[in-house]
């Protein structure tokens, strides 16, 4: 009889531990888009967005200017862009027409042109920026 009680107590403790892990996982997913209707995620509206860097996430910012969505991987480039009145040097960007999220232009829906910051000293940054944007808007990265 003592084995039965011991076994039942261990299963109860394991169940509690699993429940605790589920609660922690569910409450730590704060940067996900809000859910609506039948569980479909609502993507954010393109515009100014800034995610400060930390030990676990590098800098990411985006600015929508007209039909172009600029993606930034360095705070210094983003700050210079804002200081220059949201204008940039054309050779500092990789341009991908129609690869961004949907935007409204003159009442018509179309895909934004992506302007991805280039950094010769950080070859993986361009891919990271594109993947971050794609995840944020629920888009395929295309490469």
Give, for 72, the enclosing helix (H) or strand (E). strand 68-72
Tell me the pLDDT band of 41, cut-offs 50, 70 and 90. Answer: low
3-state secondary structure 4-64: HHHHHHHHHHHHHHHHHHHHHHHHCCCCCCCEECCCEECCCCCCCEEECCCCCCCCEEEEE
Specify if 39 maps to a domain.
no
Angle CA 93–97–101, to nearest 5? 100
pTM of the model: 0.66
pLDDT at 15 over 80: no
Question: What is residue 135's DSSP assignment?
Answer: H
Specify if 38 maps to a domain.
no
Lowest mean pLDDT among 27-31, 45-49, 94-98: 27-31
Q: Give me the mean pLDDT over the 67-88 stretch.
A: 90
How high is the pLDDT of residue 1? 52
Specify if 143 maps to a domain.
no
> In terms of residue numbers, what domain contains 77?
45-137
For the stretch 129-139, pLDDT in tens is: 999 999 999 88
Please tell me the total count of domains within the chain: 2
Angle CA 58–44–29, to nearest 5? 60
Quick one: 25 and 95 in the same domain?
no
């Amino acid at each position: 009889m003592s084995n039965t009680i011991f076994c039942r107590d261990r299963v109860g403790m394991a169940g509690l531990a699993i429940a605790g892990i589920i609660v922690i996982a569910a409450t730590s997913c704060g940067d996900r888009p809000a859910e609506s209707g039948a569980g479909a995620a609502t993507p954010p509206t393109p515009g100014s967005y800034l995610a400060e860097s930390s030990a676990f996430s590098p800098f990411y910012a985006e600015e929508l200017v007209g039909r172009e969505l600029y993606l930034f991987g360095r705070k210094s480039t983003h700050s210079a862009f804002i200081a220059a009145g949201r204008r940039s040097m054309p050779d500092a960007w990789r341009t991908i027409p129609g690869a961004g999220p949907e935007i409204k232009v003159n009442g018509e829906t179309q895909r934004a042109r992506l302007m991805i910051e280039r950094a010769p000293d950080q070859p993986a940054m361009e891919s990271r920026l594109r993947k971050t944007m794609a995840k944020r808007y629920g888009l395929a990265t295309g490469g």
